[in-house]
Structure 1
Amino acid sequence: MIDNETIRKLRQMDLSELVDALEIQEMDNDTRQLSFDERLQLGTDHLYQEKYNKRVNGLIKRSKFRIQNATVSAIHYDKRDIDRQTLNELATCSYINHRRNIIFQGFTGSGKTYLACALGREACKREIRTRYIRLPDLLIERDEATLKPKGVTNLITKFSNYSLLVIDEWLLDDLSED
């Protein structure tokens, strides 16, 4: 059993997840029988998973996806003319490393936004900084930025910091030359 001082120090070092893992181990008779190395490995695995989940959930939240819970596994392939193998390949996010763009075309309501959000979530799971924005909102931000000194430069810098930028409703309406 870990003493209160050690628990306090672990929490102060922002390792509350490790304290939780050790407390769970203490309640399980089978786990208490394990060697120190095995228990340390279990605690480390628990801590790693908790920190990873926190990072991924933060990335997903900050991405501002329109459909927060979109997943590749929930896509109904038979209802859409989508090749499962192609989509699974896109879900690996290799197109990001190869600096490729993806454009989804289809009728309104065909699931383009869902697909984009699902692939964006896959990128977040790989700890890739992602941002979702609708083109009309991006244009509003651009118009507001033009009114500020260095506004457009700052806006470009802001969006260039994302490895994946999902622009929804692209070319839904005609764009002016501005």
Structure 2
Amino acid sequence: MNNQTIEKLRNMRLGAMAQLHLTYVEQNRLTSMTCDEYLALLTDHQWEQRENSKVERLLRQASFRQLASMADINYSADRNLDKNMFARLGTLDFAARKENVIICGASGTGKSYLSQALGHQACLSGIKTLYTVTARLFKKLKLSKVDGTYLKELEKLTSVQLLILDDFGLQAFDNQDRETMMDIIDDRHGKRSTIISSQIPVSAWYEIIGGQGTIADAILDRIVNSSHRIDLKGDSLRKGILKQE
């Protein structure tokens, strides 16, 4: 009967529960607890396994460039990074409120690390996240316009609860870049959160986006007005022991 139970559990895709039950049967440990306690034990074990698998899947799909953790953030005074403020961002309330985060600073100051630390925290909380370098995303979407999959790719981006655009504005936008950025931000505005990291200060984004002023205004209005801002200072962390970019 135990063999049949285990097989049925596996057929129902309750593998973790089946394995734990098999272990307890083989070790003759079923008499050590009540039926309610044992059922709770099996259920909790299966639940934890599924949650762990979900987090692993989210982390894999996020395509992070590096492992980044909230616990390893460098809060040295010269960085201009407020620990309390960043800890509040780490609670992910901004994502629940569909707000954005903008992280600016010179090369090597840790923008990418901070954005990915927030993304990693989001995955741990079950939030679907995607990390991408902005220029690479634009190239991908340009190709999708050629093969007719542009709208499908936009839908994929819209489905992501937290989108991280790294290295924003390293190159001036062309017409297609402007249209693509407008489509991405317009679809996400008030519905999803976006983290943008950039070496370029926000004050210079208008010029980088370029084109007709109305498009730049619309993009910046949707990004900046509902954002939390971090402006990193200090020397490059690549020069020291901590490498957070």
Hey, what's the Cα distance between the residues in 1 that align with 2:147 and 2:28? Answer: 64
- The match for 2:14 is 15
- The match for 1:128 is 127
Hey, what's the Cα distance between the residues in 2 that align with 1:102 and 1:25? Answer: 49
Give ranges in structure 1 of 5+ residues lacking alignment. none
Q: Does the Cα contact within 8 Å between 1:26 and 1:32 map onto a contact in 2?
A: no
Structure 2 counterpart of 1:156, one-letter code: L
- The match for 1:52 is 51
User: Per residue, is there more strand in 1 or in 2?
Assistant: 2
Hey, what's the Cα distance between the residues in 2 that align with 1:8 and 1:29? Answer: 19
Q: Does the Cα contact within 8 Å between 2:133 and 2:167 map onto a contact in 1?
A: yes
- The match for 2:68 is 70
Structure 2 counterpart of 1:34, one-letter code: M
User: How far is the alpha carbon of 1:64 from its aligned partner?
Assistant: 0.7
Q: Deviations over 1:91-112 (max 9, x none)?
A: 1111112111101111211111
Alignment of 1:1-178 (within 5 A): 3-26=2-25, 32-67=31-66, 69-78=67-76, 80-149=79-148, 151-178=149-176
Hey, what's the Cα distance between the residues in 1 that align with 2:157 and 2:142? Answer: 15
Secondary structure in 2 matching 1:147: helix
Structure 1 outlier segments of 4+, above 2 Å: 20-32, 78-81, 172-178
Q: Does the Cα contact within 8 Å between 1:63 and 1:132 map onto a contact in 2?
A: yes
| Structure-2 change in CA distance of 1:72 and 1:24 (3 Å) | farther
Q: Does the Cα contact within 8 Å between 2:6 and 2:22 map onto a contact in 1?
A: no
User: How far is the alpha carbon of 1:49 from its aligned partner?
Assistant: 0.6
Aligned length: 175
Give ranges in structure 2 of 5+ residues lacking alignment. 177-245
Secondary structure in 1 matching 2:48: helix
Q: Does the Cα contact within 8 Å between 1:25 and 1:32 map onto a contact in 2?
A: no
Q: What is the CA RMSD across the aligned residues, in angstroms?
A: 2.0
Structure 2 counterpart of 1:4, one-letter code: N
Hey, what's the Cα distance between the residues in 2 that align with 1:84 and 1:44? Answer: 38
Hey, what's the Cα distance between the residues in 2 that align with 1:86 and 1:28? Answer: 51
Q: Does the Cα contact within 8 Å between 1:70 and 1:118 map onto a contact in 2?
A: yes
Structure 1 counterpart of 2:158, one-letter code: S
| Structure-2 change in CA distance of 1:173 and 1:32 (3 Å) | farther
Structure 2 counterpart of 1:11, one-letter code: R
Q: Percent identity?
A: 29
Hey, what's the Cα distance between the residues in 2 that align with 1:31 and 1:81? Answer: 57
